Structure 1
């Protein structure tokens, strides 16, 4: 089965076509641009489908990162995944975006024991999760200020852009560790889960982890006609 995977929960706009039968990546593309998810995602998807020689009608499923991530960028990926699934009549599977970063780190063999994956949540915070030696998430995802989790992550290798931003807390960032999301790793994670019967996340479950910036004002003055 061919999976189309993509993620817009981090500054990376990443897409890949993955063959679950051969466990190989047919094509992948990654760009880092935190402000152009909406402009870049569909051309990136089109490029990997063309490179893989895969008509969209031959896809067996879609895999999308469901965060954690900022609202605007994350919605681009989720809406696109829903559109593909509806138009093609194929299932859409959600994966925690931090699980993709963690899978990329394990595939690159930069970690071998327990470790942490962290991405930039802005506002001087990180999205993070802790993994055991087998790459299974044992804590998180969560959003916190790095100082608040210093004791929890002390002594653990850390991967991801969030770890690089706060070296005083994430003191062990292995050389060659992935900084951004990889759709290829996200697809590999999903393929393993599907093969083993492990449930994946609903694609409608967006892991925002905090309230949006724009909210309806409370206790605003109501003006009534005279």
Structure 2
């Protein structure tokens, strides 16, 4: 019999941020998701939003078996808040934290909908700075990338995925969210893709993904 796990996912890489609650029991089922109400207010809104999310499903913090966290790219302040929360929350409960890049989660969401060999994912870093990363479908690894100014981007022959803050004609808009993070980690688990394993003490905002942080002191 497959044991059930409740996952709490956080994406604080965008100005608003989002949370999601999932149950993994063979398949992954979303129980709820919520967007934080105001931009750049993650530190103020995060804990009340998590409390309300858990209470709405008659859960407590002890009901969570895994935390899923966006490791970047995105808001430096938001990511630091997310990592600080996850480290304290997961450490107190002795549960693992899974990190995944928001751009990887968006690339995985694209490939679940569209066939193709590569996709270029564009992420807004600041109003005057954007990051592009080209992902290979067979490995979901970044094969090329860099930063650019908004007015200097030229649509390539590849499929392009943008976020809600940067519009390009003929591009697909997929915003990073806590839901996409959980789906990306679940897909990674299902495909048994290898990932680095570290202890929770090393959980810091490295802005890279694909890591699992386990309870422990070493």
TM-score by length of 1: 0.74
Measured against aligned partners, the alpha-carbon deviations of 1:112-166 in whole angstroms (never above 9, x if no partner) come to 3232222211151112322234682333564333566637x444232313541xx
Among 51, 59, 69, the residue aligned to 1:46:
51
Q: Kindly tell me: are residues 190 and 140 of structure 1, through their superposed partners in 2, closer, same or farther at Cα, counting changes over 3 Å?
A: farther
1:172-220 deviation digits (Å, cap 9, x = unpaired) = 223xx32x32111101111222341531686424229xxxxxxxxxxxx
Residues 1:144 and 1:52: Cα distance change in structure 2 (over 3 Å): farther
**Structure 2 CA distance, aligned partners of 1:16 and 1:200?**
24
Q: Which has the higher strand share?
A: 2
Summarize the Cα distance change of 1:143–1:199 in structure 2 as closer, same or farther, 3 Å threshold.
same
- Give structure 1 regions of 4+ aligned residues with deviation exceeding 6 angstroms: none
5+ unaligned residues in a row in structure 1: which ranges? 209-226
Aligned position for 2:131:
127
Counterpart CA distance in 1 for 2:91 and 2:55 is: 21
Give distance in 2, aligned partners of 1:60 and 1:136: 26
Q: Which entry has the higher C-alpha Rg, 1 or 2?
A: 1
* Alignment partner of 1:150 out of 140, 151, 154: 154
Shift of 1:52: 3.3
Count how many residue pairs are aligned between Structure 1 and Structure 2.
197
Identify if the C-alpha distance between structure 1 residues 156 and 135 changes in structure 2 by more than 3 Å, giving closer, same or farther. farther
- Aligned-residue RMSD, C-alpha: 2.8
Aligned to 1:139: 143
- Where does structure 2 lack aligned partners over 5 or more consecutive residues? 209-218
